[in-house]
Chains A and B, each alone.
Chain A
Amino acid sequence: MAAADARAICPELITRRADLAQEAAALAGLRRWAGRYSPMVARDGPDGLIADISGVPHLFGGEAEMRAHLHARLERVGLTLSSAIAETRGAAQALARHSGGILPEGAAKEGIASLPVSSLRIGSDVAEGLARMGLNRIGDLVDLPRAPLARRFGPGLVLRLDQALGLQPEPVSPEADAPYFGVRMTMPEPIGLEADVMSGLARLLDRLCSTLAHHHRGARRLRLELHRVDRETAQVEIGLARPMRDPERIAALFKKGVSEVEAGFGIEAMRLVAHVTEDLPPEQVGGPRTIAREDALADLFSRLGNRLGFDRVLRLLPAASKIPERSFLVAPAAYSAAEPPPPQRGPDRPIIIFPPEPVITKGLGQPGHPPARFAWRRMSCTTLRADGPERIAPEWWFDDPAWRSGLRDYWRVETREGARLWLYHTPQAPAWPAQSWFAQGEFA
């Protein structure tokens, strides 16, 4: 039913946008919780769970008690549910979506006979076709010969019918849980010494790193939670410059954070979680010297990044742009790989670049040529020689405020004082001739 129709029927209707991702997450959480009733719990469509409870109900005192237990638990947290227990998956699914209840063993055929055919997990076109034939209930189908049914409505209908009646097997296959990279440790006595925390951390790291190695993963960020006796929790979080699962090198990075933790009356439990992990296939270690050097460099970036922030440890990457500021990217070294810049072509570029600095011109030069004398950073300079212009046009597909003044004519200006500067002026900018020259770089 469209939302407009629903609102026409009931004008007071309150509507909310469906959040499918969050619903799926909630269902996944419920699926994990339902593991208390059976080891085999799987999702059943976007709105249901199916559990194989063979051999389980007697632990709860019977099927009816088990179902009551489930309802009581979920109603207490505010969920509305409907459930059914039957000997086949199809029958339980059909019953749960219509009235709910318990079908004793061998009663599946009679139990679902009164349900509409659409509860058999068949397409709406098949259900409509059956309705046109006057077959509205499952009971109408059960006794019909199978061959004409299959010929008319396809094998899907017969398969679903057989599955509901138990003539075809339909196992419950629970999906595997995503690996969880977290370990914890509870102390028999509260600890307070830094060395004790570090040795506990070493044990946790050994376990965590073997889990990581088993799944071919490497940790990228780790969090250590220290639970104190007085119910306070201290957290130490570190980042790594690249995925890693080497306990000793990770422990070295925790040292500074752990030394700053206030132990209070003692720490009674520790929990270590690698909450960001990346793929790390097994690789050769201790080989040629370059590998050791790369490891040392990655360790250095981890240390620097944990104190300064990973956005302050950078690398220059080439970019395809003629605009000087955008001709290279400055990217965090921990999240990028070095790329050799393309071969240099065209006019020279300065070694040092800075944001445009206005240059105060003194005396008028030739129009369009660099000024004969100018002041830059309070130094007065005299132009000895000027090479140019090199005209760079703004990239119209980016709206860069710095380039709204239009074209730039770049000149390499040698001054009598020695400095070799990269000056530009903007011929398209509205005239204020005293302020149309800027310095943007210094050559070698």
Chain B
Amino acid sequence: MRFDPAPSELFALARHRVHEAEGPGRRSFAPLQAVRHTEALIWIIPGHAPHQPMLRGLPEGVGERLHLIRPANETDLLWATEEALRSEGVGLVIAEPEKPLSLIAGRRLQLAAEAGRTTGLMLIQEGQGSNAAETRWHCAPIASERRDSTLHQWTLNKNKKGTLGTWTVYWNGKTAAVHPVSAAGKRHEPAETSR
């Protein structure tokens, strides 16, 4: 049996849970999720990090709902994430922790997301996630042969309530829609079954 979700639900994160994304393309996975939430967005970036989202590059409708929080240290970052997750009126909380997430921290964030009915997305460095995460995605941009195409490879590494998978998609960073593609001669691998 192949894992083949309906297109409308493709890459939709389960609501009221905390998810993780890693890999070099994690910061372009976040705006796709942001554009799919209609409420306020909160992006928590460490205060000393040099990068920040650029307003003109974000998908339409995201810029005016986005709020940036720049905490000074890791403790404040986790505290701010928990507070934002626990607060009503927030749709999606994106946070970029720098240290490995402990199981306690991950579980607390899950409880906060359930209490506040919000969704969280942790942009973690590779291998620094927590076991409490609902799903974990590995995102990487890949080179494409055609001009003006922005290919991404998004791999679902961990999923508490479903199967894993790898998708190669076109997503241009502007819309809520993504176009999955299958490379010629290479179909999705069937989900592994226990024998």
- A414, B88: Cβ atoms under 8 Å? no
In the bound complex, residues from chain B placing their C-beta under 8 Å from that of A53 are none
Interface residues of B (CB under 8 A from A): 24-25, 27-28, 31, 39-40, 47, 50-58, 60, 63-72, 76, 79-80, 83-84, 87-90, 140-144, 147, 150, 152, 171-173
- A312, B141: Cβ atoms under 8 Å? no
Interface residues of B: mostly helix, strand, loop or mixed?
A: mixed
Q: In this assembly, does A64 line the interface, its C-beta being within 8 Å of a C-beta of chain B?
A: no
- A443, B57: Cβ atoms under 8 Å? yes
Interface residues of A (CB under 8 A from B): 292-297, 299-301, 303-304, 307-308, 312-318, 324, 327-328, 330, 333, 338-341, 344, 348-355, 384-385, 414-420, 441-444
In the bound complex, residues from chain A placing their C-beta under 8 Å from that of B171 are 444
- B53, A316: Cβ atoms under 8 Å? yes
Known: A385-B147, A418-B140, A441-B57. A304 touches B69 (CB 8 A): yes
A415 CA to B55 CA in the complex, in Å?
24
- B69, A312: Cβ atoms under 8 Å? yes
- B79, A307: Cβ atoms under 8 Å? yes
- B71, A351: Cβ atoms under 8 Å? no
A354 CA to B171 CA in the complex, in Å?
22
- B55, A312: Cβ atoms under 8 Å? no
In the bound complex, residues from chain A placing their C-beta under 8 Å from that of B141 are 418-420, 444
A295 CA to B40 CA in the complex, in Å?
12
- A441, B69: Cβ atoms under 8 Å? no
From A339, A355, A385, contact of B64 by CB (8 A): A339
- A443, B173: Cβ atoms under 8 Å? yes
In the bound complex, residues from chain A placing their C-beta under 8 Å from that of B84 are 300, 304
In the bound complex, residues from chain A placing their C-beta under 8 Å from that of B52 are 330, 352-354
Can you name 13 extra interface pairs (CB under 8 A) apart from A313-B69, A351-B54? A300-B87, A304-B69, A308-B70, A315-B66, A316-B66, A341-B63, A341-B64, A353-B54, A354-B52, A355-B50, A415-B143, A442-B27, A444-B150
A441 CA to B52 CA in the complex, in Å?
10
- A349, B71: Cβ atoms under 8 Å? no
- B88, A296: Cβ atoms under 8 Å? yes
In the bound complex, residues from chain A placing their C-beta under 8 Å from that of B89 are 292-297, 300
A105 CA to B192 CA in the complex, in Å?
111
A182 CA to B141 CA in the complex, in Å?
58
- A318, B83: Cβ atoms under 8 Å? no
From A314, A338, A352, A415, contact of B69 by CB (8 A): A314
